[in-house]
Amino acid sequence: MVEWGLIGWSLVRPSGGSVLAFEMRPEWKKFRYRGRTLEELLKMDIEELARLFPARQRRSLLRGLTPAQQKLLLKVRKIRRRLEEGRLKRPPVIRTHVRDMVILPEMVGLTIAVYNGKEFIPVKIVPEMIGHYLGEFSPTTRIVQHGEPGLKATRSSLHVASK
């Protein structure tokens, strides 16, 4: 069994049963999305999942995936398959520009680096993120924190006492 560092879940090899197992949580604390466990969500196809999602995500999925989204999903499935076969010890970080992809149950446990316009922000996918967009976890803007002007930084600092 391999621990990935998140509290409450671990990746289990194929001989051990399901891909993701919640061992440390009591029954009433196990993750559920609209009354379904993660194992039940993993068995559903995209159309069934779309019925559980809010309207915006449902519409996005039912209209079909864009070529970039399909490529990302293929990468996710390839890495998931290689993890289950035991060919990978740790899941590699998947880099993507696709911010408008809905997070699906098969992405849980992976780290996806989402581009925010300047850099790739690593996002560890946990079950509570299912149904959200990848872009929600990679903010494109920061809150500006203007500091005090330094000495001779601008002409306005000429009138500031230089201790």
CATH code, domain with 131? 3.30.860.10
Q: Does a structural domain hold residue 147?
A: no
Closest CA to 60 of 149, 134, 139: 134
Classify residue 156: in a domain, yes or no.
no
Q: What's the pLDDT band for 7 if we cut at 50, 70, 90?
A: very low
Instruction: Report the domain count for the chain.
Output: 1
Positive or negative, the CA dihedral 53, 56, 57, 58 is positive
- pLDDT per residue over 86-115, tens digit each? 998 999 999 999 999 999 999 999 999 999
Q: Can you give the residue range of the structural domain that contains 108? A: 10-142
Cα 30 to Cα 101: distance, rounded to the nearest angstrom: 25
Q: What is the pLDDT of residue 115?
A: 97
Decide if 110 is inside a domain: yes
Q: What DSSP assignment string belongs to 57-90? A: HHHHHHT---HHHHHHHHHHHHHHHHHHHTS-SS
Q: Is residue 49 part of a domain?
A: yes
Residue 127 in any domain: the answer is yes
Separation CA 129–CA 69 (nearest Å): 17
Residue 30 has a pLDDT of: 83
Whether residue 163 is contained in a domain is answered as no
Residue 67 scores a pLDDT above 80:
yes
Tens of pLDDT, residues 127-151: 999 999 999 999 999 988 887 766 6
Spatial neighbors of 130 by CB under 8 A, at least 6 apart, are: 33, 41, 103, 104, 105, 108
pTM exceeds cut of 0.85: no
**Is residue 148 a part of any domain in this protein?**
no
Residue 158 forms part of a structural domain: no
